[in-house]
Chain A
């Protein structure tokens, strides 16, 4: 049993979006969607911080925060959204009713609809290797299938700037746990009470 989490070091993110590409290839998420910004498990958003003349541009990576008290889980009627033994919030596609309640409940904009058109495109691009076979609500899984093979999530493995530091927050020797325990990395929107396990160094 682990308690997986991630630390985003915003100052190290170059904005190359290799993570988005890697994630969308591994997880076959709708990179083909017309609304380019819409359907990603992870996003990198360019932001301007500060006021003129003290302005800087930063790139802000986001994913599902794998909350410890996830509102998406509390609203899910069928139990499709569940938390696995390692604290990863997952969706059982067979049970997902597609009501969209979790999209409304997630305070971190982490979920989207994997629609019929997306299934067709998935099959078009990936043929026999297509991984999505039914409509469902989709979001980051911390690449749970890769973890089982001893690999890191594909975004963290690809990150050029070492901006995504993945690890077991219960293992005090992991780099992620050290950053969290030192108080350097902080979660976003703590007041909403979801207890996210993705932390940020700004």
Chain B
């Protein structure tokens, strides 16, 4: 076997994967706050628009990564929808924009039933955006470290964790009983997500330990990279978990949780970048030239 580290996708794709997931999760969790936690229409509208703005920022990098950015309109030609995750992602992203905007309009004008429907559809598309980014990498059969069901789970969990982190900033700035209540819900949810992420990471590396040569190579690249071990695992997962768990037991400790959420955001980005970077092809011997 010839092992070759992939070099087609790099920073730009990682930035997109991060902001795409963050935007989708922010919108889904924000609308949830309005629909289920009485956060009020402006919170719903604001977070939906914030989520879409973040997603748009991510998409800019995706377009810049094209061999010719001016060809981006072809992305709307989704003939490969039956099998391609970029085509399916395009539909999901468009759904997120359409339902997100309709939800915001309905919330603004107070069309309650329509708002609920649009809100749930927008949440579903937001969730779809967080998930498809992992499925997108997953489809590459020649890169065994990506071609595992753990990856979409990891990306989804991590995206929602970053979404929680961002919402904690927003909620910490709002002074209301509902905001406090939702803040604590999000904080608890994030503690759950980070714990789950640690479990998935553990399972991922345990699988890699017994995997084929390319999987092991990817795992080694990551484990020997301090950006992964110190930057992501320690500073981006374990530290925020401890800080958030501690903060959740104390009153008036939003500052600590907000600081922890900054670490979560940086960790979420590092995870995307490093997983993309550590993609290793396993070519049959003689092919890599």
**Interface on A for B, CB 8 Å cutoff?**
37, 43, 45, 47, 60, 62, 71, 73-79, 95-101, 103-109, 113, 115-116, 134-137, 188-189, 192-194
* Complexed CA–CA distance, A73 and B83 (Å): 9
A104 / chain B contacts, CB cutoff of 8 Å: 6, 8-9, 140, 142-143, 279
A189 / chain B contacts, CB cutoff of 8 Å: 283-284
B65 / chain A contacts, CB cutoff of 8 Å: 99-100
**Interface on B for A, CB 8 Å cutoff?**
4, 6, 8-9, 65-68, 71-72, 74-75, 77-81, 83-87, 90, 136, 139-143, 279, 281-289
Task: Check if A97 sits within 8 Å of B79, measured CB to CB.
Answer: no
Nearest B residue to A114 by beta-carbon distance?
B67
Task: Check if B283 sits within 8 Å of A105, measured CB to CB.
Answer: no
Task: Check if B286 sits within 8 Å of A75, measured CB to CB.
Answer: no
Most chain A beta carbons < 10 A, residue from B65, B75, B78, B87: B87
Q: Beyond A78-B87, A101-B86, is A108–B140 a contact (Cβ under 8 Å)?
A: no
Task: Check if B286 sits within 8 Å of A98, measured CB to CB.
Answer: no
Q: Beyond A74-B83, A95-B77, A97-B74, is A109–B287 a contact (Cβ under 8 Å)?
A: yes
Of the A-B pairs whose beta carbons lie under 8 Å apart in the complex, a sample of 8, sorted by A's number, is A45-B286, A45-B287, A47-B285, A71-B139, A76-B80, A77-B75, A78-B80, A95-B79
Task: Check if B9 sits within 8 Å of A75, measured CB to CB.
Answer: no
Task: Check if A79 sits within 8 Å of B79, measured CB to CB.
Answer: yes
* Complexed CA–CA distance, A116 and B67 (Å): 9
Task: Check if A193 sits within 8 Å of B9, measured CB to CB.
Answer: no
Task: Check if B67 sits within 8 Å of A105, measured CB to CB.
Answer: no
Minimum distance in angstroms from A23 CB to a CB of chain B: 14
Task: Check if B75 sits within 8 Å of A109, measured CB to CB.
Answer: no
Q: Beyond A43-B289, A188-B287, is A97–B75 a contact (Cβ under 8 Å)?
A: yes
Task: Check if B72 sits within 8 Å of A76, measured CB to CB.
Answer: no
A193 / chain B contacts, CB cutoff of 8 Å: 141
Q: Beyond A75-B86, A194-B141, is A62–B286 a contact (Cβ under 8 Å)?
A: yes
Minimum distance in angstroms from A175 CB to a CB of chain B: 22
A98 / chain B contacts, CB cutoff of 8 Å: 66-68, 71
Task: Check if A108 sits within 8 Å of B283, measured CB to CB.
Answer: yes
Most chain A beta carbons < 10 A, residue from B81, B86, B282, B287: B287
Minimum distance in angstroms from B83 CB to a CB of chain A: 4
Nearest B residue to A10 by beta-carbon distance?
B286
Minimum distance in angstroms from A105 CB to a CB of chain B: 5
A106 / chain B contacts, CB cutoff of 8 Å: 142
Minimum distance in angstroms from A14 CB to a CB of chain B: 16
Task: Check if B66 sits within 8 Å of A99, measured CB to CB.
Answer: yes
